Structure 1
Amino acid sequence: MTHINALDPGASPLDYYGFELRRHREAAGLTQKQLGDIVNYTGSLVGQIETARKLPTPEFSERVDAALGTGGLLSRLVTLVMRSQLPAWFQHVAELEARAVEISTFQAFTIHGLLQTKAYARTVLGALDRTDLDDRTEVRLARQRILEKTEPPILWMVLSEAALHQEVGGSATMREQLVHLLSFEGNPRINVQILPFSVGAHAGLQGSFSIFRFVSDPTVVYTEGYGSGHPSANPDTVKDCSLRYDHLQAAALSLRDSAELIQRVMEERYGDQREADGDPVA
């Protein structure tokens, strides 16, 4: 086991976070257990985070910041910690997400990670590999904090109707996910359009892709394979994918009609889920 005094704060964002957590806790004159009691976590968890053996969550960071009066230090650091835990090939993409002023994405089979619920994300990530699944799920969800910024990016998502019917995690998980999509209706910065089956052949048949636009940097197109990502600022690629996205948006349903289709699929395919005692589950 790594001795806490051996932690090198320069080794990684996770080590730096643990070092700062310990430093502020000790400055407050608290034991790990005492701090855990204050923030409603176990002292053992505090110790694991201090020794870089466990990932902190945004919620943990916010509670500790409030308890220790750190001025939001840990809440700022946790973003870097989470990003550092992403697969190496995806870390650059997460940085693009964080810097973009507009994200346009076409998703052929699944909901985009920025709009996934915890249960849906956990099922997607655990489909083949359940190693460290809790941590990997939290890392994915942490990306969504960019939508909570004072000036969040404008997000446009064209989603194939197939993604509404692909039952990921069971009916209850899908219903929760579709409710989540509907919760953005009326939000001008988060827009979801459905590409219906009736469109037939369309400009996105080659697969999902995202377009990141910035204030001054060149536009970047991102495509993804199994275990690899492919960002490109090649002007020809950007021009081609921008044209494809324009056609996908033109073929997709309006925002209002998209919300109605999501609602209809949710009710007809995933209906009200009921527990054994007959009570509905939201």
Structure 2
Amino acid sequence: MSVENETADADLPVTPLAHFGREVRLERERLRLSREELGKKAHCGYSLVAKVEGGERVPRLEFAEACDQVFPHANGRFVRLWQLVLRSAFPPWFRKYVELEGVATHIRMFQCQLVPGLVQTEEYARAIMETGRLPNLDDLVTARMERQRILAREEPPKLWVILDEGVLRRTVGGVGVMKGQLERLRDLADTAPHVVQIIPENGKPYHGWSGSFALLSFNEGADVVHVDGFPRGYFLAEQDDVASATRAYDLLIATALPPNDSAPLINSILKESYS
């Protein structure tokens, strides 16, 4: 290989985000738009445009959609590229879970420590992730919020969330953050076809209390289980493991308060601790 080719290859983007940013910059410069002008069309500021073009920030879907509208003959290219960018924003071990979550018809979650990422507010998610002192915090928060789009689909997956009451009382990010998060959970509890159940704090142990997990079901194919863990979660797909997780979830349902009692309890904790 010649020196010239080596230099040219070195200038090529090496990540989906860098490629996306380079394409945005090339199209913007071709139209002789300033970053401020593109920012106005994409409802963001100069700084975000600069960071996206520099491969430093994962944009929201709306940014990619604006690019497809602004740049002639884009034909949806930026939204397609954005999908690759978003996938790469998740840790490699978590990407398969996000893929399966996106096609699941039923999602059953149990959490004994924190509100699940799929229903976190942006402020709550940021407060949780800040504790890890991560250099790509903004990208991880964006990726987590984008996951939640599946709940806004015309036919969303049926979501069933069981939480230990301690999750609602454990202050994350301050009173204001918790107020917004509990309001989000209360609204979810009142929104069909979703279900929220709370296991009350009564000092009694219950089956599964020591570990959080999710069960995913699909139109086609067997259920799978995702178990939270450190430093990474893992999947269980063996029939016996899935059967054990299903039985554990059934026991959690029986232990928790009835679904119709969830919203009143959340409201009570809101008034008691976060008003």
TM-score by length of 1: 0.85
Residue 275 of structure 1 corresponds to: none
Deviations 1:11-62 (A, max 9, x none): 4332342244245435545343432243343445324323323221223234
Q: Are 2:258 and 1:254 equivalent residues in the alignment? A: yes
Give distance in 2, aligned partners of 1:235 and 1:178: 35
Pick one of 81, 87, 91 that aligns with 1:83. Answer: 87
Contact map agreement 1:199 1:251 (CA 8 A) in 2? no
Deviations 1:138-184 (A, max 9, x none): 12212111212233211110111110111111111111100111122
Give distance in 1, aligned partners of 2:42 and 2:147: 24
Contact map agreement 2:112 2:210 (CA 8 A) in 1? no
- What is the CA distance between 1:124 and its match in structure 2? 0.8
Q: Are 2:44 and 1:41 equivalent residues in the alignment? A: yes
Deviations 1:241-280 (A, max 9, x none): 0011011112211222011000000111111xxxxxxxxx
Amino acid of the residue matched to residue 62 of structure 2? E
Amino acid of the residue matched to residue 246 of structure 1? D
Amino acid of the residue matched to residue 224 of structure 2? V
SS in 2 for 1:200: coil
Pick one of 129, 132, 136 that aligns with 1:125. Answer: 129
Matches for 1:198-217 after TM superposition, within 5 Å = 198=202, 200-217=204-221
Give distance in 1, aligned partners of 2:246 and 2:116: 18
Q: Structure 1 unaligned segments of length 5 or more: list them.
A: 272-282
SS in 2 for 1:157: strand
Give distance in 2, aligned partners of 1:261 and 1:72: 45
Are the structure 2 counterparts of residues 40 and 206 from structure 1 closer, same or farther at C-alpha, using a change threshold of 3 Å?
closer
TM-score by length of 2: 0.87
Amino acid of the residue matched to residue 163 of structure 1? V
Residue 5 of structure 2 corresponds to: none
Are the structure 2 counterparts of residues 164 and 45 from structure 1 closer, same or farther at C-alpha, using a change threshold of 3 Å?
closer
Contact map agreement 1:49 1:55 (CA 8 A) in 2? yes
- What is the CA distance between 1:205 and its match in structure 2? 2.1
Pick one of 216, 220, 225 that aligns with 1:221. Answer: 225
Are the structure 2 counterparts of residues 131 and 18 from structure 1 closer, same or farther at C-alpha, using a change threshold of 3 Å?
closer
- What is the CA distance between 1:78 and its match in structure 2? 2.8
- What is the CA distance between 1:222 and its match in structure 2? 0.8
Give distance in 2, aligned partners of 1:29 and 1:251: 63
Q: Are 2:150 and 1:146 equivalent residues in the alignment? A: yes
Are the structure 2 counterparts of residues 148 and 12 from structure 1 closer, same or farther at C-alpha, using a change threshold of 3 Å?
farther
Residue 159 of structure 1 corresponds to: 163
Tell which deviates more after alignment, 71-80 or 168-177: 71-80
Q: Are 2:35 and 1:32 equivalent residues in the alignment? A: yes
Q: Are 2:15 and 1:7 equivalent residues in the alignment? A: no
SS in 1 for 2:64: helix
Give distance in 1, aligned partners of 2:70 and 2:32: 12
Q: Are 2:172 and 1:168 equivalent residues in the alignment? A: yes
Tell which deviates more after alignment, 42-51 or 158-167: 42-51
Give distance in 1, aligned partners of 2:61 and 2:81: 9
Give distance in 2, aligned partners of 1:44 and 1:173: 26
- How many residue pairs were aligned? 268
Contact map agreement 1:32 1:46 (CA 8 A) in 2? yes
Contact map agreement 2:42 2:62 (CA 8 A) in 1? no
Give distance in 2, aligned partners of 1:156 and 1:113: 14
Q: Are 2:66 and 1:63 equivalent residues in the alignment? A: yes
SS in 1 for 2:228: strand
Deviations 1:107-160 (A, max 9, x none): 111100000011110111111324332222112212111212233211110111
Give distance in 2, aligned partners of 1:189 and 1:79: 27
Amino acid of the residue matched to residue 61 of structure 1? A
Amino acid of the residue matched to residue 182 of structure 2? L
Residue 235 of structure 1 corresponds to: 239
